[in-house]
Amino acid sequence: MQSSKLGKRWKEYHGMSNWDGLLDPLDDNLRAEILRYGHFVETVYKSFEFDPSSPNYANSRFPRKDLLERCGLHNTGYKVTKYLRATSGIQLPSWVDKAPTWVAKQTSYVGYVAVCHDKEEIKRLGRRDVVVAYRGTTTCLEWLENFRASLTNLPIPCNTKRAFEKNGVMDRSGAMVESGFLSLYTSSLPRKTFRSLQEMVRREISRILETYRGEQLSLTVTGHSLGAALATLTAYDVKTAFPGLPVTVISFGGPRVGDPRFRRMLERQGTKVLRIVNSDDVITKVPGFVFDDGLASDGGVHVPGFPRWIQKRVEEAQLVYAEVGRELRLCSKDSPYLGNTNVATCHELTTYLHLVDGFVSSTCPFRASAKRFLQR
């Protein structure tokens, strides 16, 4: 990669122009950046303790100071500054007390914040980049949160005087997001044993902005599966709290997150989202239904030629979703190296990295060099 080219055009690669002209054919610099952020997500999976019999279950296996190196990601120029935890807001029945402790694990390590600290890497990137990386679903309660597919009102944190502010507290925005994702982002345990993911992220970003005051910073939020949904909520929330900070999402295999109003709010605040989608991945097709995003004067979603009564029933069930940002659409069938795929392999992060590495354009054959991701 030409470092001078990336540094001078970092805003373009960060989505300032919505990646126009960079996706098909896929720009080599952008490909390298997508893969680089994908590797940060990989380290969250690699550092997660999956063994339910371990006393460290659902925590990080490694200390912050050498997490990236212990996960095989060397010489990144970044340092991990904060571990992040997500908490489920599901109220558990009393009988759960008799089940194994891993079944009712309410809070777990879900990702981290990392800051670029190496001078040469800062020069190459053209700014000091901050990364928030999230893994996908692993615990029982996270799976249950995923199935809470109905939409719920999105509270907006009011840190400035706005029309929807009432006595300086949060008021409803009109936008709606998936109930389970919002629960994992905003829930905390009683007595502040663990703060909410939202509070942890906001505090750490605020600290970083204060530490590097006067420098050019950017925030890149990246995640896979559930982590992609949390990345979108995080980006929206941080951009609301710190509107001057350039915020971009690079997501892999993410489900839908919110309704058309939520999409419009992301666009108005200037949050950039690049969704990496595998056409064969069912997770990217849920939850809910997507109609034309045109909002009618009554607040409903009207689609010409589509039975109004069906639209009405879907709206009443709070299941009208909208895709956000730009999409880089890939397909497992385009790779000559994947062989027979199933629902699980189509969704795996390694499959996504393989497809990104191999994609040239919608009219060109797959790159042979992409086979390297399947040999790990």
Active-site annotation holder among 218, 237, 335, 347: 347
Identify which of 125, 128, 132, 120 has the alpha carbon closest to the alpha carbon of residue 211: 128
Query: What gap in Å lies between CA 281 and CA 133, rounded to an integer?
Result: 21
238 near 272, Cβ under 8 Å? no
> Which amino acid makes up residue 339?
G
Query: What does pTM read for this prediction?
Result: 0.90
Tokens of 300: 């409903």
Query: What gap in Å lies between CA 26 and CA 29, rounded to an integer?
Result: 9
Q: Is 53 a catalytic residue?
A: no
Strand partners, 292: none
Q: Is 187 a catalytic residue?
A: no
Q: DSSP character for 225?
A: T
328 near 314, Cβ under 8 Å? no
pLDDT of residue 313: 60
pLDDT of residue 318: 67
pLDDT of residue 163: 37
pLDDT of residue 160: 42
Where the chain has pLDDT below 70, the residues are 1-4, 95-98, 156-173, 191-193, 291-318, 372-376
pLDDT of residue 302: 46
Q: Is 347 a catalytic residue?
A: yes
pLDDT of residue 189: 85
pLDDT of residue 325: 96
Active-site annotation holder among 281, 332, 334, 354: 281
User: Please, what are the domains in the chain?
Assistant: 2-358 (3.40.50.1820)
253 near 228, Cβ under 8 Å? yes
Active-site annotation holder among 183, 218, 225, 332: 225
